[in-house]
Chain A
């Protein structure tokens, strides 16, 4: 990255840009110095958090009246006299822009990016009203093979922002340049379609693309970004807790983007960026009892009577919900004879038991055993990932792991199934059982290096994989469920003075603090706070509903679950909820209401309080 750090010599240089005196720090580029002085140098290929390559030549500036340089790649030097806004430079820029226009097929009038397009803005600034360069009309097929991302290279200017984003931010290296010169084009892996490629559909390249060459059909033609309002909230699809910038227009969500100033450099994953927008199930707005629409009051009365008359209640709550809602649910249940299950709670409970046992046994502080922030993962010399399922469950952490492995970090992956990080791992170990046995001797084998892994039997590997060099971080994926493995890994971290990042299946890490129980085998009522759950979590609710005689369901959208439920009470959608969730670092994070609720339910929690009141 080109960004000079603050700590770098404060010596500083003084230069002049379009007559204005500008202070720069050593190592800063002319562009960076200009930005800090609020001087607008035109750019296209430069982008937040990416390295600079000087590809588009928009930032061409005149230095000391004698030569032209690209401001994004040229270091600011003491005494430089820089011109930006000269007619001659704008003529250069316009010629470059005409070549971009003529080389590809730009039809702004029906382009999804129109109005937000940086290229269009640049055409405008350069006064491009005709093309002196012959128009090419190349025949380029759009690639719509990825459900969420369309790549239409008709509008690509080969700025490489997508390539650098996929490589430097996401660490995935799916996109590359193919061919040379005017034939240069973006190539996906070895020239396959995006849908067949190694792409993890994180959409970070879509966010980085300055033109309409990469866009999501989920957001296309829903409105211009510049006419949107932006609300910031926290993603509750996994415990990474990425910050979501949600763009809305007239009560409708247009798109979700990552915060480029945040720790993840603007990236999100498929779930946070796309799946949250792709839930096409019918929205539930009215309460129902036995398939008939009823008043909310009647639905609550019926639910309460059913719960009061039950022999046993098995309750289930979505871990996508804010902590306050989960607590309210737990309290409401206290009035009845109910057992509560929340995904991730079991692992969280087990983990805290293991940790307190180790605290006593090995005389360590739990706080010292856990990483301070998952965003610092890349600082480790060695990463050991147990369960590469994190690629699907905690995708942004997987991206940190890839980035680290692409850099200096040694990556050891341990998985009993498909190793989803094999491409990046220095050592990939197929293993289901506990990773190591913490013995008194284990510390002794720490002097070696991971080279010893090259030719070993599985048993050797188990031991030798622990011969880690430097600072190591152990990443525990959600599939690690047994106490023995946890003891081993936390114990190993404790004895080797290393740290653990634990990524359980719980999306809201607060599940560790909400009292949960093993469900009963003979409960006759299922009480399911399913909210907007889908896939596996929804299946679990359906299973519980089937096992019971009567099912009470709080759900956001119609599904197989609400079809079999006896009482259906509408629940808020993710963008209507408010409260906090706890992320994998143990921090409270704010869930903000993005849009006002559409149905008659304004608050899940008030509803649960009503239920509690009726019971009292």
Chain B
């Protein structure tokens, strides 16, 4: 406890918030593959929000804001905008956020027909499409789009998912105040 307190008092680490928009959490899962490296990493960065690591539902202010996934529903738009507002540098993690990725495959189908087929026609007679004003499920947008069609993005780390090592290195670069160089083998599309 005292060690923790010590870190807190003199904490000049780079703060990082990550969010999962319309994604499969695959990028976040891959990030966990940084594995033991995470211990070194947290010496340089302070992860203030990340749904698999930290119990924080909102988008707190942070030096670096990372988003996984496409912008596919109304909530994603709000979260993306919040991320832009609360974070100095915005990073698009993975093909979905950077280049639209597999999550945009739904764009080839009519939104309403797809919802009918997915919800109403799948289960029993009672099932309905769970959207609407008071349903508590955010309304799906017409299309799923990459992050930079909604907010400015500073750094792109494509890959489905990107390599854990590439995610780690790019965070380390950001912590040093550098722009990560994602090129050569580090630049992936699969």
Question: When A and B form their complex, what is the total count of cross-chain residue pairs whose Cβ atoms lie within 8 Å?
Answer: 58
- A interface, over-half SS: loop
Query: Which of A106, A107, A129, A135 makes the CB contact (< 8 A) with B187?
Result: A129
- With A129-B182, A130-B92, A130-B153 already in contact, the answer to whether A137 and B189 are too (CB < 8 A) is no
Residues on the A chain within 8 Å of B107, using CB: 137
Contact with B along A98-121 (1 / 0, CB 8 A): 000100011111110011000010
- Stretch from B12-20, B28-36, B97-105, B120-128 contacting the other chain: B97-105
Using CB atoms, name the residue of chain A closest to B105: A107
Using CB atoms, name the residue of chain A closest to B96: A109
B148 adjacent to A127 (CB under 8 Å): no
A137 adjacent to B143 (CB under 8 Å): yes
Residues on the B chain within 8 Å of A131, using CB: 99, 146
B98 adjacent to A130 (CB under 8 Å): yes
Tell me whether B47 is interfacial, beta carbon within 8 Å.
no
A130 adjacent to B99 (CB under 8 Å): yes
A147 CB → nearest B CB, Å: 25
Contact with A along B117-154 (1 / 0, CB 8 A): 00000000000000000000000000101101000010
- With A114-B190, A130-B156, A135-B100 already in contact, the answer to whether A109 and B108 are too (CB < 8 A) is no
B108 CB → nearest A CB, Å: 6
Residues on the A chain within 8 Å of B190, using CB: 108-109, 111, 114-115
B98 adjacent to A127 (CB under 8 Å): no
Complex CA gap A115/B153 in Å reads 27
B98 adjacent to A109 (CB under 8 Å): no
For window 66-93 of B, CB contacts with A under 8 Å fall at: 92
Chain B interface size range: 20 to 34
Complex CA gap A596/B23 in Å reads 45
Tell me whether B22 is interfacial, beta carbon within 8 Å.
no
A130 adjacent to B108 (CB under 8 Å): no
- With A124-B184, A129-B156, A137-B104 already in contact, the answer to whether A114 and B99 are too (CB < 8 A) is no
Complex CA gap A311/B108 in Å reads 71
Residues on the B chain within 8 Å of A66, using CB: none
Residues on the B chain within 8 Å of A107, using CB: 101-102, 105
Residues on the A chain within 8 Å of B156, using CB: 129-130
- With A124-B184, A135-B146 already in contact, the answer to whether A114 and B153 are too (CB < 8 A) is no
A109 adjacent to B153 (CB under 8 Å): no
A100 CB → nearest B CB, Å: 13
Residues on the A chain within 8 Å of B145, using CB: 135
Tell me whether A139 is interfacial, beta carbon within 8 Å.
yes
Tell me whether A123 is interfacial, beta carbon within 8 Å.
yes
B111 CB → nearest A CB, Å: 13
Tell me whether B158 is interfacial, beta carbon within 8 Å.
yes
Tell me whether B178 is interfacial, beta carbon within 8 Å.
no
Complex CA gap A374/B143 in Å reads 57
B183 adjacent to A108 (CB under 8 Å): no
Residues on the A chain within 8 Å of B183, using CB: 124, 127
A105 CB → nearest B CB, Å: 8
Complex CA gap A132/B22 in Å reads 21
A213 CB → nearest B CB, Å: 16
A124 adjacent to B99 (CB under 8 Å): no
Tell me whether B95 is interfacial, beta carbon within 8 Å.
yes
B189 adjacent to A123 (CB under 8 Å): yes
Residues on the A chain within 8 Å of B157, using CB: 129
A226 CB → nearest B CB, Å: 13
A110 adjacent to B98 (CB under 8 Å): no
Residues on the B chain within 8 Å of A135, using CB: 100, 104, 145-146
Residues on the A chain within 8 Å of B41, using CB: none
Residues on the A chain within 8 Å of B160, using CB: 108-109
A137 adjacent to B108 (CB under 8 Å): yes
For window 176-190 of B, CB contacts with A under 8 Å fall at: 182-184, 187, 189-190
Complex CA gap A139/B108 in Å reads 6
Contact with B along A123-157 (1 / 0, CB 8 A): 11001111100010101000000000000000000
A152 CB → nearest B CB, Å: 13
Complex CA gap A137/B145 in Å reads 10
Using CB atoms, name the residue of chain B closest to A115: B190
B153 adjacent to A120 (CB under 8 Å): no
Residues on the B chain within 8 Å of A120, using CB: 189
Complex CA gap A137/B95 in Å reads 15
Known interface pairs A129-B157, A135-B145; 7 further A-B residue pairs with C-beta atoms within 8 A, sorted by A's residue number: A101-B99, A108-B190, A114-B190, A129-B98, A129-B187, A131-B99, A137-B104
- Can you identify 12 A-B contacts, CB atoms within 8 angstroms? A108-B189, A109-B160, A109-B189, A120-B189, A129-B98, A129-B156, A129-B158, A129-B182, A130-B153, A137-B104, A137-B107, A137-B108
The residues of A with any CB-CB pair to B shorter than 8 Å are 101, 105-111, 114-115, 120, 123-124, 127-131, 135, 137, 139
